[in-house]
Homo-oligomer: A and B are copies of this chain.
Amino acid sequence: MPNNPPPIDGARVLADLNTLRGIGTYRTGVHKPTFSDAHMGSLRWLAERLPEAGLAAEVDGIGNVVGTSAKPGPKLLAGSHLESQNFAGWLDGPLGVVYALEAARVINPDATIRGAVEVASWCDEEGHFGHFLGSRSYVGALTEADIDAARDRNSDRTMREALASAGLAGRPRVTAERGRHVGYLEAHIEQGETLESADLSIGVVTSIVGIWQYRIVFTGEQNHAGTTRMAIRKDAGLAMSRFCVAVDESFPKLSGPRTVWTTGRMTLDPGAPSIIPGRAEMLFQIRDDDAGVIARLEQHLRALAADVTAQGGCVVEVERIRTGTPARMDAGFQDAIEAAARDLAGGKSLRMPSGAGHDAQVLATIMPAGMLFVPSIGGISHHWHENTADADIVTGAAVFVDACLRLLASTS
């Protein structure tokens, strides 16, 4: 790596992040569902910035932006995403994109540095229409039939309709040129409180959890809430509540130290005040960086469901609808981030697994990948309160660019 790395422009990084917060602003955060006007405006903003970093780019047929460099030498791919959860924070996604943009602006025009950083924004990391649709498209793991089947989880609008109204229908999808990149580097807010509570600046991600998602359906008997005696009811909602409590009581005995499980949605059918629900449905997920732990918990989940069904009041069906394999981050990438943090963040870094899913786990299926975290204030995430101190954002950018330089320099 060069003896005198060119300085990053911290004010420019903060200004870019605030510009992106200004597109689709919601309170102190943003509301940018995938393919919304605010999301598309953010993609156009990025595509217009990339030429400043010597990159040719456009928005492709799945909503990815991938900037390509004509500079000779090794290429490092870097990026994140620009859509948000609904009514959520300003840094979840944009931070990694702006760091990548800053790295490209610093490194690519400098003829004394060998190689270039190529910048990507992956579409729909937040899963409005599916799971990592953008990065899966780039690595060649998304078929046209997958896109045909995808629907907006909130409105039931098809992805095809959304692509058409965003003006992307019919555009080609950009896919990875195998062997082109030395690897993929992504920065993200931690979304937890590990770094903040230990007064650290940089998380060096060792692995990304696998997420197994389930739809669990309880079938009882719909009936009148006034005339049906308690003794003969088959209340699907009550069965669901009992199931959730049983999960909460028994999972800790079988889980690993960092396993988490969440019921994110519950619905009763028909959902009327005077009708005993005949059907209830919940979305449930388990995360761990050890697939064996998840498999063990799934086995227990199915046993709990069988117990409820055997009791006869209601039938419980457990359907796994997502199987995300945990991913290991490349050892060389971890070393590069840690070394950069030693030089530019006073060594205040920690190796840690990621409890959140990230596009890096998809890119890791075709190239070495690494991730860097910056602290989240109060650990808050997926909420418009989400924030990171400006000083931490700037330190993170410096470490990120330095890690990029180390990774480019390390290639033969």
Hey, which bits of chain A sit against chain B, CB under 8 A?
85-87, 127, 153, 190-193, 209, 211, 213, 222-230, 232, 235, 237-238, 240-242, 244-245, 248, 252, 258-268, 270-278, 280, 283, 285, 287, 354-357, 376, 379-383
**CA A252 – CA B233 in complex, angstroms?**
14
The residue on B at minimum CB distance from A244 is B241
| Contacting pair B226 A191 (CB below 8 A) | yes
Given contact pairs A192-B229, A260-B230, A223 touches B381 in the complex (Cβ within 8 A): yes
Query: Closest CB-CB distance, A185 to chain B, in whole Å?
Result: 20
Contact of A241 among B193, B229, B245, B273 (CB under 8 A): B245
| Residues in B neighbouring A227, C-beta threshold 8 A | 190-192, 354-356, 376, 379, 381
Contact of A277 among B209, B237, B252, B264 (CB under 8 A): B264
15 contacts between A and B (CB under 8 A): A86-B270, A192-B224, A222-B382, A223-B380, A225-B287, A226-B260, A226-B287, A226-B354, A227-B355, A227-B379, A265-B273, A266-B268, A267-B267, A273-B283, A274-B356
| Residues in B neighbouring A260, C-beta threshold 8 A | 225-226, 228-230
Query: Closest CB-CB distance, A205 to chain B, in whole Å?
Result: 12
**CA A209 – CA B224 in complex, angstroms?**
13
List of 7 A-B pairs having minimum Cβ-Cβ separation, nearest first: A192-B227, A226-B355, A225-B262, A191-B227, A226-B356, A241-B244, A224-B381
| Contacting pair A223 B275 (CB below 8 A) | no
Q: Which of A86, A213, A224, A355 has the most chain B CB atoms closer than 10 A to its own CB? A: A224
**CA A330 – CA B232 in complex, angstroms?**
30
The residue on B at minimum CB distance from A265 is B271
**CA A383 – CA B224 in complex, angstroms?**
8
| Residues in B neighbouring A283, C-beta threshold 8 A | 273
Given contact pairs A227-B192, A268-B264, A248 touches B237 in the complex (Cβ within 8 A): no
| Contacting pair B272 A228 (CB below 8 A) | no
Contacts A86-B272, A241-B248 known; list 6 others, CB within 8 Å.
A127-B273, A153-B272, A211-B274, A225-B285, A227-B355, A242-B245
Contact of A266 among B237, B258, B261 (CB under 8 A): B237
Query: Closest CB-CB distance, A305 to chain B, in whole Å?
Result: 15
Q: Which of A241, A263, A278 has the most chain B CB atoms closer than 10 A to its own CB? A: A241
| Contacting pair B274 A127 (CB below 8 A) | yes
